[in-house]
Amino acid sequence: MHGTANDCKVAFPRARPAIADAARDMTDPVTTKVLAAVTLRQVADHAGVHPATVSRALNPETRQMVSADTLQRVLASARELNYRTNTIARSLRTQRSHTVGVVIPDITNPLFPKMVRGIDDALEKVQYASLVAYTDGRDERLMDRFEVLRQRGVDGLIVATARHTDRALDSLEASGVPVVQINRRSQNRAIPSVTADDRTGLQQAIEHLAALGHRHIAHVGAPQNHSTGRTRLAGFRAGMRHAGLDVPAAHIHLGRAVTMEEGERVCAALLSECPEITAIVAGNDLMALGCYDALRAAGLRCPDDVSVIGFNDMTFADRFDPPLTTIRFDHYGMGSAAVDVLMRRLRSANPVPATVRLELETRLVVRASTAPPR
Amino acid sequence: MHGTANDCKVAFPRARPAIADAARDMTDPVTTKVLAAVTLRQVADHAGVHPATVSRALNPETRQMVSADTLQRVLASARELNYRTNTIARSLRTQRSHTVGVVIPDITNPLFPKMVRGIDDALEKVQYASLVAYTDGRDERLMDRFEVLRQRGVDGLIVATARHTDRALDSLEASGVPVVQINRRSQNRAIPSVTADDRTGLQQAIEHLAALGHRHIAHVGAPQNHSTGRTRLAGFRAGMRHAGLDVPAAHIHLGRAVTMEEGERVCAALLSECPEITAIVAGNDLMALGCYDALRAAGLRCPDDVSVIGFNDMTFADRFDPPLTTIRFDHYGMGSAAVDVLMRRLRSANPVPATVRLELETRLVVRASTAPPR
DNA sequence: CTGAAAGCGCTTACAG
DNA sequence: CTGAAAGCGCTTACAG
């Protein structure tokens, strides 16, 4: 690695007093390091009751089984000893880890941090934790990562990598761990999903462009093995129909991936085939950025020569050159909604809950990448 | 929530055959849902040996204790039954969760996704998982989140929220779970850290500006309770000294937080006090973006009137208007380096390892936000 | 209302 | 080289 290492062997650097101070604050004053955690048993001994009683007293669900008197004693002891229940032991016993697996393509894709944050904040509220895994677009990693998540006892799964036909996802669901799909969804309606209302979003984009006076509008779209790619294309067609505009086959160019590179490649092809184009609706913001590049390479300016619209309103979309007009939805809310749905599945005894397909509202955010045609 | 819900109660939608197919592929053909995982005991029965033997055979560390013959039988059975060791049970027994806690301010801050990715990929290689927690800049959350991480038995901690004086961090370390600091570090040298070489980075920035001919260079800096803020300020001063340039006190303006808003606020003050300024080195890219806003508000253009340099080269820094000149370091590598250090701490029996302060190389990336002064 | 017992699924001294 | 036993720290039927 290209780093410079300073390995200074300072056995007891100046900071030591601070450490000692801190240690003095801890419950166990005897040992300075690797403080063994306090156990239920210790609380029981301290309170003079049986461990089972402590367990009951500390668990809100069983608390009413214990007398007010004992409850007080136990609570006092637990507080005094700074007791925390050992999640691992509890998980082994109850077969519930209070953990959910989150499978996304890549946290480095600016679409996902807000979604993950929405998920994690919602999970925190119900005392769950997430274990996140990445597929990096390599579909075979889903089952692989799932195996390790399962080994770790995840109670459920939030999956953002659904393909239109997704046998892996089907078999996840069949394996008995509740799944909810987020952002994208497979055609398997038995698996709940939370997505954006992609179709309406695209229609909003077309409406905007049509209102500006555009007539030759193209779609630099996402792959059709994703629901987002499909639904956005369908929304594109529907929007054009409503606006009374034609869609020559040549005006629809689909990328093989939802990336800047594919956006650029596909847009370049589009521009050379169809010089009449005055506006482009991209499959998402990343592809829109690729369109910027292709336009520049072709000596065209955005929005003067060609308007561009993205999808997602990802971080910094307002900072691009030009600031990107795009379709926004609530990424954070999508994350927390997915948790809500999953929790409902986890809590219900019913093993086959009603199908839910939640679609989040989209909104057009107009910025400087769209303007009337020349 | 502003979403539209479609709760279609389709008991057995069309996708059902796919599910049944998938279930047929599973090991246990009897029950379609909540397939109980295969246990060690089942493998033992299948192979006709004692569970302890299976355990030994499956663990690479103890594998040599078992005869080649039995090993083959056990491996075959394990494969046939698709056995996976139950991490929770193992953790309870060994008191090792193979999990590390990662504490960052906010995954939504574009600085962190790559770092987290570096961490997670490195952890994956050694069969560890991460549990990530957010402080949101609320320092008191560190201990709070740490309690829940500890409940979940994390073996170690990677913390990106160090303050210069950080009692909480000291007490974490004192509590016996190994910590490594990332991105920032406290003055406690007993806690290893992986940071960028902030000082050199700032000097590189000054060198660049001085070479362009700038003489009146200001620093829109980060708070001084963070090592990054301090070290970058020190680097700023050192760079100016090397370049033989003066640093009037008024040319140093420090924000209260490392945000766009603070960058804007502080830069606005700077501009009104010191109109002679022709270049600004910001505390990081976000603050640099805030400088863009302040310049625009003051009717100044970047780089024509004032050059701006950031720090981090975060995602899309090349896409801003203008593309941002900035100091880059390897975020991903920083994450994996932190894991390396932590793993060394976890593996070493030595409870007080040598202090390590790793500093990653920085590099100036010149883009369009810097130019010679008028 | 509380206690005693069993057991979740592993690993690891301890025997043999 | 393998087995039998104990136990990690909890929870939860089962008695009383």
A95 CA from C4 C1′ (Å): 23
Element (H, E) at A130: strand A129-134
CA count, 13 A, side-chain hemisphere, B112: 24
- For strand D, is any atom closer than 7 Å to the CB of A357? no
Residue B354's pLDDT is 63
Residue B173's pLDDT is 84
How buried is B246 (Cβ within 10 angstroms: 0-12 exposed, 13-18 middle, 19+ buried)? exposed
Has residue B12 got a pLDDT over 60?
Answer: no
Helix (H, G, I), strand (E, B) or coil at B290: helix
Round the average pLDDT of chain B to a whole number and report it: 89
Residue A349's pLDDT is 60
- For strand D, is any atom closer than 7 Å to the CB of A35? no
Q: Which chain B residues contact residue A322 at CB under 8 A?
A: 321
- Domain A198-329 in the same topology as domain A98-196+332-360: yes
Query: Is there a contact between A188 and A173 (Cβ–Cβ < 8 Å)?
Result: yes
State the distance between the two ends of chain A, measured CA to CA, in whole angstroms.
52
Cα of B181 to nearest chain A Cα, Å: 15
Interface test with B, best of A30, A152, A330 (most B CBs within 10 A): A152
Query: Is there a contact between B290 and B257 (Cβ–Cβ < 8 Å)?
Result: no
- Put simply, the answer to whether A170 touches B357 (Cβ < 8 Å) is no
Q: Which nucleotide is nearest to B65 (CA to C1')?
A: D1
Residue B13's pLDDT is 29
Cα of A322 to nearest chain B Cα, Å: 8
For A76-118, write each residue's pLDDT tens digit.
999 999 999 999 999 999 999 999 999 999 999 999 999 999 9
Q: Which nucleotides of C are covered by protein (CB under 7 A)?
A: 1-5, 7-13
Has residue B75 got a pLDDT over 90?
Answer: yes
Nearest to A88 among B20, B88, B173 (CB): B88
Positions 127-166 in A, CB within 7 angstroms of strand D = none
- For strand D, is any atom closer than 7 Å to the CB of A51? yes
Cα separation of A78 and A101, whole Å?
31
Interface test with A, best of B35, B82, B88 (most A CBs within 10 A): B88
- Cis peptide before B353, with omega less than 30 degrees from 0? no
Q: Which of A6, B240, B136 is nearest to B232 (CA)?
A: B240
- Put simply, the answer to whether A8 touches B189 (Cβ < 8 Å) is yes
DSSP A362: -
DSSP code string of A202-227: HHHHHHHHHHHT---EEEEEPPTTSH
Cα separation of B147 and A60, whole Å?
19
Task: Calculate the CA dihedral of residues B331, B333, B338, B341 and round it to 10 degrees.
Answer: -160
Count of CB atoms situated within 10 Å of the CB of A10? 12
CATH for B97-196+332-360 (3.40.50.2300, 3.40.640.10, 3.10.20.30, 3.90.580.10): 3.40.50.2300
Mean pLDDT of B256-284: 97
Residue B10's pLDDT is 26
Residue B35's pLDDT is 66
φ, ψ dihedrals at B246, nearest 5°: -80, 150
Which residues of chain A fall short of a pLDDT of 70? 1-35, 349-354
- Put simply, the answer to whether B3 touches A97 (Cβ < 8 Å) is no
Sheet-wide strand order for A179-182: A129-134, A99-104, A156-159, A179-182, A193-196, A355-360, B3-8
A238 CA from D7 C1′ (Å): 66
DSSP code string of A225-256: TSHHHHHHHHHHHHHHHHTT----GGGEEE-S
- For strand C, is any atom closer than 7 Å to the CB of A69? yes
Q: Which nucleotides of D are covered by protein (CB under 7 A)?
A: 1-5, 7-13
Q: Which of B264, B197, B263, B261 is nearest to B235 (CA)?
A: B197
- Put simply, the answer to whether B33 touches A1 (Cβ < 8 Å) is no
Query: Is there a contact between A135 and A141 (Cβ–Cβ < 8 Å)?
Result: yes
A198-329 maps to which CATH number?
3.40.50.2300
Cα separation of B229 and B220, whole Å?
10
Query: Is there a contact between B327 and B109 (Cβ–Cβ < 8 Å)?
Result: no
pTM: 0.90
How buried is A51 (Cβ within 10 angstroms: 0-12 exposed, 13-18 middle, 19+ buried)? middle
Helix (H, G, I), strand (E, B) or coil at B40: helix
Residue A353's pLDDT is 57
Query: Is there a contact between B50 and B44 (Cβ–Cβ < 8 Å)?
Result: yes
Cα separation of A279 and A302, whole Å?
9
A45 CA from D9 C1′ (Å): 15
A248 CA from C11 C1′ (Å): 67
- For strand C, is any atom closer than 7 Å to the CB of A50? yes
Helix runs in B48-193, H state only: 51-58, 68-81, 87-94, 112-125, 141-151, 167-174
* Nearest residue for D9, CA–C1': A89
For B107-145, write each residue's pLDDT tens digit.
999 999 999 999 999 999 999 999 999 999 898 899 999
Going by C-beta distance under 8 Å and a sequence separation of 6 or more, which residues neighbour residue A318? A324, A367
Domain ranges across chain B = 16-85, 97-196+332-360, 198-329
* Nearest residue for C1, CA–C1': A66
Nearest to A4 among B16, B22, B359 (CB): B359
B16-85 sits in which CATH class? mainly alpha
- For strand C, is any atom closer than 7 Å to the CB of B86? yes
Cα separation of B219 and B284, whole Å?
11
- For strand C, is any atom closer than 7 Å to the CB of B90? yes
- For strand D, is any atom closer than 7 Å to the CB of B93? yes
Residue A35's pLDDT is 66
CATH topology of domain A98-196+332-360: Rossmann fold (3.40.50)
- For strand D, is any atom closer than 7 Å to the CB of B66? yes
